[in-house]
Amino acid sequence: MTEQEARMRRITDVPCVGKTSADLVQGIQRHYLRTLGQHTSSHVKNYKYQALAFAIRDRLMECWKNTKDAYEEQDGKRAYYLSLEFLMGRALGNAVLNLGLDEEVVKALHDLGLDFEEIVEEERDAGLGNGGLGRLAACFVDSCATLQLPVTGYGIRYEYGMFRQHIENGYQMEDPDHWLRGGNVWEVERSEYTQRIHFGGRSEYYHDDQGDLRVRWVDSNDVLAVPFDTPIPGYKNGTVNTLRLWKSAATDEFDLGEFNAGDYAGSVASKNEAEHISMVLYPNDSSENGKELRLRQQYFLASASIKDVLRQWVNVHGEDFSEFSAKNVFQLNDTHPTVSVAELMRILMDDYRLTWDEAWDITQHTMAYTNHTLLPEALERWSVSLFSRLLPRVLDIIYEINGRFLTVLAQKYPGDVERQRRMSIIEEGDVQHVRMAYLAIVGSFSINGVAQLHSDLLVEGLFADFYKLWPEKFNNKTNGVTQRRWMAWCNKPLSALISSEIGDDWITQLNELQQLELLVDDANFRERWSACKRQNKERLSKVVEEVCGVRFSPDAMFDIQVKRIHEYKRQQLNILHVIHLYDRIKRGDTANWTNRCVLIGGKAAPGYYMAKQIIKLINNVAEVINNDPDVGDKLKIVFFPNYRVSAMEIIAPAADLSEQISTAGKEASGTGNMKFMMNGAMTIGTLDGANIEIREEVGRDNFFLFGLTTDEVEAIRPNYVPNNIIAADEDFKRVMDLIECGHFSQFEPGLFAPITGSIRCHDDPWLVAADFRSYIDAQQEAAEAYQDKERWQRMSILNTAYSGKFSTDRTMEDYNREIWHLTPIRPKDETCVPPRHLCD
Ligand code: 26Q
């Protein structure tokens, strides 16, 4: 050890921080006074949250360092999850759980006269994502840390996350989510790893000092990317991985022209453009919107992350890249970060002087692409003109990739110009576009869908030409969710019951839940199971009453649909059923009635007119039903505003019935379906996405199936006449009449004509009318099943028991075994694992 190393060692040589409740009390007090400067016991509860969060963060820090040291020392293969979204939600409860400090924290707070559950509520959700794709990234990093896989998440530190939603007169209103106001305890700025990102300018060809022809990107406008790191703790294993989020900042080079002309303020103001890049998350989750700022965000993430990885590589290996693809893999979360393919090529060639073939070999063996959608309108395309203005050098490379790819095609399929046109990365037409999915496919060694049906449909449909060319690249990786957050943390009563019966191995081995199957015949166990569900329903009822002003009786069946609002997810169909139930009540057709509380929640993209109308319809229907004395407890319905991760933590444990009712072939996977199943809800669903696998696991008797299959959906389209279906079905006709006669829009007749019109339209892509009857019948089956308490208890237990497949631990093991090939690494000294007496 050199003297300098010895000196460095001293500053990090801190005694291990204690983990008893007394140690925690001390830590909380110290941060409250010394970090936050709070001298009196002020009534601002948020400072108490922050003090606790700092105390917990202290307990992550040394494991974080040990994990980094271990990764560096082992120098094994590493993976990078590139994603424009990480929908993390709150971090405090998760950190406490994963550190195994649950009981000690509760006790410490109790000694300080504070309540953990109240303090937890002070944290704002990190809402840096739209929905499924962003939350999946968050579950993935949790599972990777738990599996001790060396995986780093790379994303953008948006100043404003997903908008907050409130309802005014039944309509969605959006409020900006300035989530960082009040500070973020969990992030650490690492400005020493700042990267410089180029935009604009042009490519210049020149001869280097060895006389070789090379290219450089000149006259660019540069932006800085400053990394902020968030610790990602594994479950009681001493591993803490990293989520690195980039914030954009202006360079210090003032616009000299303006500056010299005396416009000092103007030149400083022009820094704005740079700082805007990481300002806001696009709240669009299914259709491309082609905005320049979005492409800037994508390139900003791709370039900063790749430069960061190459920086670390060169630090250790110098400029020898022969082993790079054996030791690094990038997983692209949809096409959003796909410009990475060209960016890696660019840096390897322009900055490190690799030849095209060397750089391409590395790129093609390093990139892997996950697709999350089957909707053709959601496939990203960027206009060539925008690309050439913003990223001229990157576009050169994309053209070259495409040129070489088309040559391969021409050799393989001589004369088949039509195929070349179809498969070209550059789409020809009035305006040329770059097809990002095709760039991802050509540049990657692995392409996966997110549920078996989805992966099958990709190779049969959207990507059929590519599958024919490279069948070995395509594979399936069925999604999952992390049971740490979605059971152990959010469903304490059920977790305690399960652990008391089968132990707590399920927290890291979800298949262990299968043992619950043996308990379904135990009446006492079933009663305790129901008691947990009831407790969770009471908790949700309180929240619903607070935020919606409607009383949900825990005796009723809780029927829940929460997800983004989209026509393909068919919240319309749900509301048609609710209206049908209302109609039955009004007609007095209520023999053997099952009381129901229907909850629908989700955000609509701000520019998505139909989705916003659907929200309005739900609210108007709720207004009529909830205030009708004839209805009473038989039926309640609310639109739950501002659905988000922390809301789902209360909703999922309380659900009896999970609505997964998309048009078959449209929902790539779904992940809410898995959270509900895990928490003992029954699914009513179509044969779509991961529903199919859920039904396979739990058995057909424990799943309410309805609707057309994917094949039937495609077969019916040419002869689809919804008006005939409606006319032939008395119940359906009455429901449509109620909406169309203005019963739910008394002072605004015709308000919902766009919705009813689309249901009646023969080319309704979502085939709502086609599935109405079988949906209503399946709902009736569910209602009857609910009346048989014992039967329902059994089904509920079996849903949890067979949810093992849907852990992201399994998903990550699949990615690792078949795509990444990483070796798990244990941090050398496991001081961060809680002392044994705290673990058991
Ligand atoms: C693209 C371009 C410009 C602006 C925004 C976007 C954009 C952003 C987010 C497009 C799509 C998304 C999100 C998609 C998404 O969440 N898909 C869901 O992914 C889940 C995880 O795999 C699946 O379970 C869902 O089925 C799928 O809909």
Reported as a single tens digit per residue, the pLDDT across 203-225 is 999 999 999 999 999 999 999 99
Distance between Cα 371 and ligand 1 center (Å):
9
Could you tell me which residue, 401 or 284, shows the higher pLDDT? Answer: 401
Tokens 């779509």 belong to 688
pLDDT greater than 80 at residue 10? no
Q: Point out the catalytic residue in the list 671, 756, 800, 808.
A: 671
* Distance of alpha carbon 524 from alpha carbon 497, whole angstroms: 12
Ligand 1 atom, smallest distance to 294 CA = 3
Residue, of 227 and 256, whose pLDDT is higher: 227
The whole-number average pLDDT for the span 704-712 is: 98
pLDDT at 830: 56
pLDDT given for residue 285 in this prediction: 86
Residue 380 Cβ < 6 Å to ligand 1: yes
- The residue ranges of DSSP E strands in 126-278, in sequence order, are 126-128, 151-156, 164-168, 171-175, 188-189, 195-199, 202-207, 213-218, 221-233, 240-250
Which of 57, 346, 372, 596 is catalytic? The answer is 372
Mutate to test the pocket of ligand 1, among 84, 133, 677, 815 (most ligand atoms within 8 A of CB): 133
Mean pLDDT of the chain: 95
Q: How many Å apart are CA 418 and CA 595, to the nearest integer?
A: 58
Rounded distance from Cα 100 to ligand 1 centre (Å): 33
Q: Is 136 in the pocket of ligand 1 (CB under 6 A)?
A: yes
Contact status, residue 122 vs residue 68, Cβ threshold 8 Å: no
Predicted pLDDT of residue 837: 46
Q: Is the pLDDT of residue 839 over 50?
A: no
pLDDT at 771 over 90: yes
Strand partners, 562: 601
Which one has a higher pLDDT value, 791 or 39? 791
- Which of 135, 285, 380, 692, when mutated, tests ligand 1's pocket best, judged by the most ligand atoms within 8 Å of its CB? 285
Whether ligand 1 lies within 6 angstroms of the CB of 568 is answered as: no
pLDDT digits (tens, 9 = 90+) for 402-411: 999 999 999 9
What pLDDT shows up at residue 264? 74
Half-sphere CA count of 126, side-chain side, radius 13 A? 25
Instruction: Tell me the mean pLDDT in the region 556-562.
Output: 99
Alpha-helical (H) ranges within 164-221 are none
The model's pLDDT over 734-757, given as tens digits with 9 standing for 90+, comes to: 999 999 999 999 999 999 999 999
Identity of the amino acid at 776: I
The 3 state secondary structure assigned to 261-290 is CCCHHHHHHCCHHHHHCCCECCCCCCCCCC
* Token pair listed for 501: 């019966």
Residue closest via CA to ligand 1's atom 11 equals 285
Angle between the 102-111 and 21-30 helix axes, to the nearest 10 degrees?
Answer: 60
Distance CA 615, CA 361 (A): 50
Q: How far is the CA of 598 from the centre of ligand 1 (A)?
A: 26
Closest listed residue to residue 310, CA positions, set 230, 226, 391, 366: 366
C-beta of residue 50 within 8 angstroms of C-beta of residue 185: yes
* Location of structure tokens 């919705």: 755
- Identify whether 569 is a catalytic site residue: yes
289 lines ligand 1 (CB under 6 A): yes
Ligand 1: atom nearest CA of 284 is: 5
The answer to whether residue 9 is catalytic is no
Exactly one of 247, 533, 563, 805 is catalytic; which is it?
563
**Across 508-522, average pLDDT:** 98
Neighbours of 268 (CB within 10 A): 14
Model confidence at 393: pLDDT above 90? yes
Q: Which tens digit of pLDDT belongs to each residue from 162-200?
A: 999 999 999 999 999 999 999 999 999 999 999 999 999
135 is known as an active-site residue: no
According to DSSP, the residues that pair with 128 across neighbouring strands are: 86
Could you identify the atom of ligand 1 that is nearest to the CA of residue 671? 24
- Tell the residue nearest (CA) to atom 5 of ligand 1: 284
Q: C-alpha 577: how far from its chain's center? A: 29
CB 704 within 8 A of CB 687: no
| Separation of CA 372 and ligand 1 centre (Å) | 6
Distance in angstroms (rounded) separating the CA atoms of residues 98 and 779: 39
Average pLDDT for residues 412-439, to the nearest whole number?
A: 97
Tens of pLDDT, residues 137-168:
999 999 999 999 999 999 999 999 999 999 99
Residue 199, helix vs strand vs coil: strand
Residue 257 binned pLDDT confidence (cut-offs 50, 70, 90): low
Residue 103: the pLDDT is 96
Atom 10, ligand 1: which residue's CA is nearest? Answer: 285
Question: Does the beta carbon of 688 sit less than 6 angstroms from any atom of ligand 1?
Answer: no
If pLDDT is split at 50, 70 and 90, which confidence band does 836 have? very low
Ligand 1 pocket, 291 CB below 6 A? no
**Pairing between β-strand 328-333 and β-strand 367-370 as defined by DSSP bridges:** parallel
The pLDDT value given to residue 1: 63
Which residue has the CA at smallest separation from atom 15 of ligand 1?
A: 133
**Span 796-801, mean pLDDT?**
98
Share of the chain above pLDDT 70, in %: 96
492 is catalytic: no
**Could you identify the atom of ligand 1 that is nearest to the CA of residue 129?**
9
Beta pairing partners, 165: 174
Query: Measured from the CB, is residue 672 less than 6 Å from ligand 1?
Result: no
Contact 76, 823 (CB under 8 A): yes
Share above pLDDT 90 across residues of the chain, in percent, rounded to a whole number: 92
Give DSSP secondary structure letters for 753-804.
HHHHHHHH-TT-TT-HHHHHHHHHHHHHHHHHHHHSHHHHHHHHHHHHHT-G
SS3 call for 248: strand
